[in-house]
């Protein structure tokens, strides 16, 4: 029976922050400072997603670092309510072909789209996708949005399952339930953990918004095209470390052979395999010990599977969801 690698093994995994703000919008660090700051923590990839500014920071790319051309756009609820209670769509756009159609892309950074008009919201997504952008739906909890709203989104590549800046801002960072709701509604999208850093508080404040949400990208080559291709295929997993210290468990193997799932990771406390319904496959270490492997037999009615591996210290590693009917 054929073994399917849900995560590829014979590639190199690169550490990435896919949501970042600099002095070009409302961040406190310059792009050059952000690059240095993150490289010192072992990152190789940053997507510079400044608000309403499309900038290709190709000058920052070298043999050790890749800057993804990107931006964040917003579409806000109409009315005279205070900003703190206004619902909003925030989306990141990652450019798969930054050398093409630059002027057209720059003209689309401030979408004149009514918040409540889902046809218009989805039409904007379609327009950006045709220009070569991968669209990501950001922080639904912080955005004060409901399942009835975000499950109407169409055509997106991914959504945030964890946003570290939102977690530091007011415990709005975790979006596992929203991700499951999207999947159960029929959306087949990936999930990412991000920082959404602005770096406006001291590093030692306990509320610092860098180094808490990241993605490990399994790419065949360390090039712009190689990183983008891995993102397109979903060859990555996401991690959150809410204390901004240390690393979440690494995924070393994640395979499917018939109905058998095998997981191998660096030392962890629990390995949970989530599904479409309430059924969850579980493996746990005994108190004071760790586990590094788990094997699960699926029941054939699980719909999709996704991993949540935790270390017992608040750090989690999330896989993308895999729909079993595709295999």
**Number of neighbours of residue 152 by Cβ within 10 angstroms:** 13
Length of the chain: 327
Task: Verify that 240 and 309 share a domain, yes or no.
Answer: no
Structure tokens at 137: 């739906």
Q: What's the CA gap between 12 and 327, in Å, rounded?
A: 24
Q: What is the band of 206 on the pLDDT scale with cuts at 50, 70, 90?
A: very high
Q: What's the CA gap between 90 and 45, in Å, rounded?
A: 22
pLDDT of 26: 97
pLDDT digits (tens, 9 = 90+) for 136-173: 999 999 999 999 999 999 999 999 999 999 999 999 99
Determine what percent of the chain falls in helix, strand and coil, rounding each to the nearest 5: 20, 35, 45
Task: Verify that 218 and 110 share a domain, yes or no.
Answer: yes
Q: What's the CA gap between 263 and 295, in Å, rounded?
A: 6
Q: Which of 246, 267, 291 is the last residue of a domain?
A: 246
Lowest mean pLDDT among 107-116, 266-275, 311-320: 107-116
Average pLDDT over residues 279-306: 98
Task: Verify that 193 and 266 share a domain, yes or no.
Answer: no
The yes-or-no verdict on residue 83 having pLDDT over 90 is no
The DSSP result for 40-82, as a single string, is TTT--EEEE--BT--B--GGG-BTTBEEEEEEEEEEEPPSSS-
pLDDT-above-90 percentage for the chain: 93
Supply the CATH number for residue 299's domain: 2.60.40.730
- State the total domains in the chain: 2
The yes-or-no verdict on residue 126 having pLDDT over 90 is yes
The yes-or-no verdict on residue 1 having pLDDT over 90 is no
Q: What's the CA gap between 43 and 282, in Å, rounded?
A: 31
Reported as type and span, the H/E element at residue 233 is helix 224-233
Range of the domain at 98: 11-246
pLDDT of 81: 84
Is position 4 within any domain? Answer: no
Q: What is the band of 97 on the pLDDT scale with cuts at 50, 70, 90?
A: very high
Q: Which of 246, 278, 293 is the last residue of a domain?
A: 246
The yes-or-no verdict on residue 54 having pLDDT over 90 is yes
The yes-or-no verdict on residue 117 having pLDDT over 90 is yes
Average pLDDT over residues 242-266: 97
Task: Verify that 209 and 281 share a domain, yes or no.
Answer: no
Task: Verify that 240 and 263 share a domain, yes or no.
Answer: no
Structure tokens at 212: 């808490």
The yes-or-no verdict on residue 108 having pLDDT over 90 is no
Report yes or no: 93 and 135 within 8 Å, Cβ to Cβ: yes
The yes-or-no verdict on residue 102 having pLDDT over 90 is no
Report yes or no: 312 and 270 within 8 Å, Cβ to Cβ: yes
Task: Verify that 175 and 294 share a domain, yes or no.
Answer: no
Most confident among 73-87, 97-111, 246-260 (mean pLDDT)? 246-260
Model pTM score: 0.97
Supply the CATH number for residue 207's domain: 3.20.20.140
The DSSP result for 114-179, as a single string, is -TT-HHHHHHHHHHHHHTTEEEEE--TTTTT--HHHHTT--S-SEEEEEEHHHHHHHS--B-HHHH
The yes-or-no verdict on residue 123 having pLDDT over 90 is yes
């Amino acid at each position: 029976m054929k073994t399917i690698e849900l995560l590829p093994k014979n590639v190199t995994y690169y550490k990435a922050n896919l949501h970042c703000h600099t002095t070009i919008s409302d961040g406190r660090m310059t792009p050059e400072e952000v690059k240095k700051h993150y490289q010192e923590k072992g990152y190789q990839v940053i997507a510079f997603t400044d608000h309403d500014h499309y900038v290709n920071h190709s000058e920052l790319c070298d043999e050790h670092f890749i800057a993804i051309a990107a931006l964040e756009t917003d579409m806000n609820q109409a009315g005279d309510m205070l900003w703190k209670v206004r619902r909003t769509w925030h989306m990141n756009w990652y450019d798969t072909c930054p050398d093409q159609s630059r002027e057209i892309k720059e003209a689309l950074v401030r979408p004149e789209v009514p918040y409540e008009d889902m046809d218009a919201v989805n039409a904007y997504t379609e327009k950006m996708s045709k220009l070569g952008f991968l669209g990501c739906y950001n922080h639904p909890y912080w955005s004060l949005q409901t399942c009835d709203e975000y499950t109407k989104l169409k055509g997106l590549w991914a959504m945030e399952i964890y946003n570290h800046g939102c977690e530091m801002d007011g415990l709005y960072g975790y979006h596992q339930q929203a991700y499951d709701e999207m999947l159960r509604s029929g959306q087949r999208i990936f999930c990412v953990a991000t920082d959404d850093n602005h770096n406006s508080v001291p590093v030692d404040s306990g509320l610092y918004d860098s180094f808490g949400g990241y993605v490990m990208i399994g790419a065949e080559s360390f090039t712009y095209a190689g990183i983008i291709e891995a993102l397109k295929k979903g060859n990555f997993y996401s991690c959150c470390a809410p204390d901004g210290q240390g690393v979440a468990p690494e995924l070393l193997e994640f395979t499917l052979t018939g109905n058998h799932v095998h997981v191998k990771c660096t030392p962890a406390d629990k390995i949970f395999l989530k599904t479409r319904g309430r059924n969850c496959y579980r493996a746990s270490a005994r108190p004071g010990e760790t586990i590094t492997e788990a094997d699960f037999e699926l029941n054939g009615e699980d719909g999709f599977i996704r991993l949540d591996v935790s270390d017992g210290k608040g750090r989690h590693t999330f896989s993308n969801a895999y729909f079993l009917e595709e295999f």
